[in-house]
């Protein structure tokens, strides 16, 4: 059983501010170079196709009869902003009609959002083996983004009735790698979008998965993008927040006594003033000297021996 992160909310407002807005970085997902489906065009069951909404009909066997209106409006707003991250799955009924297998909620929200075409997988329900081969072949492509890979794995599990172990064998990956990709689909739509368009790395996403609160996940994601944080910096930030610290707090610099400035002035003239000195409140500190040649060291040593400093 996972432990609930403690202290992540403390200092988060000070860290992110109330006006953290990276909307200018985000653009709706577009399925570039994906052919719009018509009756004349060939279809690859592993590809994502753009299907006109008028050619899609609900599944008459849909077990869910009622959809929460507020949740649907929230999803529609997300789709307007980010696009539809996870395509629906349909089967072909005739040359110009498709029936939803899964994703009716996404389909309805997409219509509410005013989309004219819906990204969808087309499943050939009468040929399971061909579908499996098509999906596996699709996964081998090098141009897939992390979410596309994760969705392909999910399709193999759900539509081809494979276990994670069987799927890992099919695609030539370790089971742990497959599991890590599938976990990406637990992330909020915003973060999946940022992974899909390259604003966020898989390494960042794995770290964010360790944060249970989705609102905090999204805010941390925004911060990573805005400040171009590394994975290590994000880990350190979360670690400090768990302790209730403000990750951006810096130790206060102490004013140096007059004697310290005299040391910097006298010693610095032998090293073209390339010298630094740090001191904490207790009086402990370090002095660093950078020299550019043996000659500088020789002059400084001679001055020490002659006690001229």
Which residues are annotated as catalytic?
Answer: 104
Contact 157, 167 (CB under 8 A): yes
Task: Take residue 187 and report the two structure tokens written for it.
Answer: 């992330």
| Residue that has been written with the tokens 């492509």 in this structure | 141
C-alpha span between 119 and 105 (Å, rounded)? 14
C-alpha span between 76 and 112 (Å, rounded)? 6
Contact 131, 121 (CB under 8 A): no
Query: Which string of DSSP letters, residue by residue, matches the chain?
Result: -PPPP-STTTTHHHHH-TT---TTT------TTPPBP-TTS---TTS-EEEEGGGEE--TT-S-----HHHHHHHHHHHHHH--SS-EEEEEEETTEEEEEE-HHHHHHHHHTT-SEEEEEE--TT-HHHHHHHHHHHHT-TT--HHHHHHHHHHHHHHS---HHHHHHHHT--HHHHHHHHHGGGS-HHHHHHHHTTSS-HHHHHHHHT---HHHHHHHHHHHHHHT--HHHHHHHHHHHHTT--TT--PPPPPPPHHHHHHHHHHHTTTTT-EEEEE-TTS-EEEEE--SSHHHHHHHHHHHHTT--
Measured from the Cβ of residue 33, the count of other Cβ atoms closer than 10 Å reads 7
């Amino acid at each position: 059983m996972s432990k609930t992160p403690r202290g992540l909310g403390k200092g988060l407002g000070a860290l992110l501010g109330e006006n953290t807005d990276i909307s200018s970085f985000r653009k709706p997902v577009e399925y570039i170079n994906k052919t719009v489906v018509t009756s004349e065009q060939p279809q690859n069951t592993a590809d994502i196709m753009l299907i006109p909404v008028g050619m899609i009909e609900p599944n008459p066997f849909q077990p869910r009869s009622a959809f929460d209106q507020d949740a649907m409006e929230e999803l529609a707003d997300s789709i307007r902003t980010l696009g539809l991250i996870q395509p629906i799955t349909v089967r072909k009924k005739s040359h110009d009609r498709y029936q939803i297998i899964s994703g009716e909620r996404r389909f309805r929200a997409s219509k509410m959002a005013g989309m004219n075409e819906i990204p969808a997988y087309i499943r050939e329900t009468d040929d399971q083996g061909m579908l499996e081969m098509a999906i596996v072949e699709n996964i081998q492509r090098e141009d897939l983004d992390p979410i596309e890979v994760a969705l392909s794995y999910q399709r193999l599990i759900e539509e081809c009735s494979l276990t994670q172990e069987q799927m890992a064998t099919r695609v030539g990956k370790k089971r742990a790698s497959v599991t890590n990709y599938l976990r990406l689909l637990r992330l909020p739509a915003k973060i999946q979008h940022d992974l899909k368009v390259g604003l966020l790395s898989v390494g960042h996403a794995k770290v964010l998965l360790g944060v249970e609160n989705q609102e905090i996940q999204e805010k941390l994601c925004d911060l990573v993008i805005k400040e171009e944080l590394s994975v290590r910096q994000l880990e350190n930030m979360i670690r400090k927040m768990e302790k209730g610290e403000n990750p951006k707090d810096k130790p206060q610099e102490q004013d140096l006594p007059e004697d310290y400035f005299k040391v910097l002035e006298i010693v610095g003239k032998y090293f073209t003033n390339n010298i630094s000195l740090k001191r904490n409140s207790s009086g402990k500190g370090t002095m660093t000297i950078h020299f550019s040649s043996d000659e500088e060291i020789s002059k400084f040593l001679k001055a020490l021996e002659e006690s001229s400093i």
